[in-house]
């Protein structure tokens, strides 16, 4: 019987490198083709919309708004109001892809922080487009890399539901706020009704997996008060996913003495 001699390691290494190189070239060409097709599709859609009769345009606009406000960003309507009160040196925590960015008033110093680098290219592109002077920092919310009393406004939109340690995050917000500063928040909290609250508690483990660690059943208003903030205004807003209601838009003043706060549980009433 003739035994095949094993392929020498040098030839195998070359083969693997060749395969990897070809894979890279194919992926790059594929990416360019897909990008070009997407660009052409965007141009075609824009032209079709621009040349459509007014009735069709109005209908398309309704579909677009429905998609954006009901599915893509159901809190979209509340964002402009939330950031309208941001003044001076502004820090937004848990920015994600930073949907609030373009709504900030220009002229103020604007810094965003998030523990998660996912979508960093998108965020940088948005910064270049809407606010080239804004800065993004990737750091845990429980240990913000800023000196004490360095911001006039801290904004949190749908971030405290995700923060791993809500009490520590609130303690950090209090620390970085200047005396007289303001904490602006848009947060969904645990429902008041027992059935809705039970549903939120039951759905949270799966929801958390699908929605980036978000908790539906947090008593966030109570946690803000426990952290020593005084809530000056908290209004339920319209919009938001059905299970993530109610959502509150609020303004809170930081404690006079930033304090270390006990960890809050998720089972407190709001």
Ligand X SMILES: C[S@@+](CC[C@H](N)C(=O)[O-])C[C@H]1O[C@@H](n2cnc3c(N)ncnc32)[C@H](O)[C@@H]1O
Question: Which residues of the shown chain bind ligand X in the complex (CB under 6 A)?
Answer: 94-96, 99, 114-116, 141, 157-159, 162-164, 212-214
User: Does residue 95 sit in helix, strand or coil?
Assistant: coil
Cα(134)–Cα(104) distance, rounded to whole angstroms? 10
Rounded to an integer, what is the distance from CA 130 to the centroid of its chain?
A: 17
Count of alpha carbons within 13 angstroms of residue 57, beta-carbon side: 9
Cα(86)–Cα(154) distance, rounded to whole angstroms? 8
Minimum CB–partner distance for residue 212 and ligand X (Å): 6
Cα(157)–Cα(82) distance, rounded to whole angstroms? 8
Of 99 and 150, which has the nearer Cβ to ligand X?
A: 99
Of 110 and 158, which has the nearer Cβ to ligand X?
A: 158
Minimum CB–partner distance for residue 171 and ligand X (Å): 14
**Residue 42 CA: distances (Å) to CA of 46, 52, 127:** 6, 15, 22
Token digits of residue 31: 């990416």
Of 178 and 239, which has the nearer Cβ to ligand X?
A: 239
Cα(101)–Cα(155) distance, rounded to whole angstroms? 11
Of 28 and 143, which has the nearer Cβ to ligand X?
A: 143
Cα(113)–Cα(142) distance, rounded to whole angstroms? 11
Under a CB-based contact definition with an 8 Å cutoff, are residues 151 and 205 in contact?
no
Query: Over the Cα atoms of the chain, what is R_g?
Result: 24
Nearest 5°: phi and psi at 61? -65, -40
Nearest residue by C-beta to ligand X? 96
Best CA proximity match to 235, nearest among 196, 186, 174: 186
Of 116 and 225, which has the nearer Cβ to ligand X?
A: 116
Of 212 and 232, which has the nearer Cβ to ligand X?
A: 212
Minimum CB–partner distance for residue 163 and ligand X (Å): 4
Minimum CB–partner distance for residue 243 and ligand X (Å): 14
Minimum CB–partner distance for residue 173 and ligand X (Å): 12
Of 57 and 125, which has the nearer Cβ to ligand X?
A: 125
Minimum CB–partner distance for residue 241 and ligand X (Å): 11
Minimum CB–partner distance for residue 141 and ligand X (Å): 5
Q: Tokens 């007289």 identify what position?
A: 180
Of 153 and 157, which has the nearer Cβ to ligand X?
A: 157
Minimum CB–partner distance for residue 205 and ligand X (Å): 16
Q: Kind and range of the H or E element at 135?
A: strand 135-138
């Amino acid at each position: 019987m003739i035994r095949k001699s094993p392929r020498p390691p040098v030839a195998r290494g070359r083969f693997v490198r060749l395969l990897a190189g070809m894979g890279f070239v194919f992926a790059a060409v594929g990416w360019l083709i897909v990008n070009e097709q997407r660009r052409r599709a965007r141009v075609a859609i824009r032209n079709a919309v621009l040349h459509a009769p007014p009735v069709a345009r109005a209908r398309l606009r309704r579909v677009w708004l429905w998609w954006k406000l009901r599915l893509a960003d159901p809190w979209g309507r509340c964002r402009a109001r939330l950031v309208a009160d941001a003044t001076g040196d502004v820090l937004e925590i848990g920015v994600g892809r930073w949907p609030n960015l373009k709504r900030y008033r220009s002229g103020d110093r604007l810094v965003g922080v998030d523990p998660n680098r996912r979508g960093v290219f998108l965020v940088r592109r948005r910064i270049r487009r809407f606010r080239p002077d804004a800065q993004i920092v990737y750091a845990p919310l429980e240990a913000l890399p800023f000196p004490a009393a360095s911001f006039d406004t801290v904004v949190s939109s749908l971030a405290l539901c995700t923060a791993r340690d809500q009490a520590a995050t609130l303690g950090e917000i209090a620390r970085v706020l200047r005396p007289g500063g303001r904490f602006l928040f848009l947060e969904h909290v645990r429902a008041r009704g027992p059935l809705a609250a039970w549903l939120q508690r039951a759905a949270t483990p799966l929801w958390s997996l699908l929605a980036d660690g978000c908790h539906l059943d947090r008593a966030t208003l109570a946690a803000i008060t426990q952290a020593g903030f005084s809530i000056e205004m908290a209004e339920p807003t319209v919009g938001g996913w059905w299970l993530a209601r109610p959502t509150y838009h609020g303004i809170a003043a930081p404690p006079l003495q930033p304090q270390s706060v006990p960890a809050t549980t998720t089972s407190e009433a709001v």
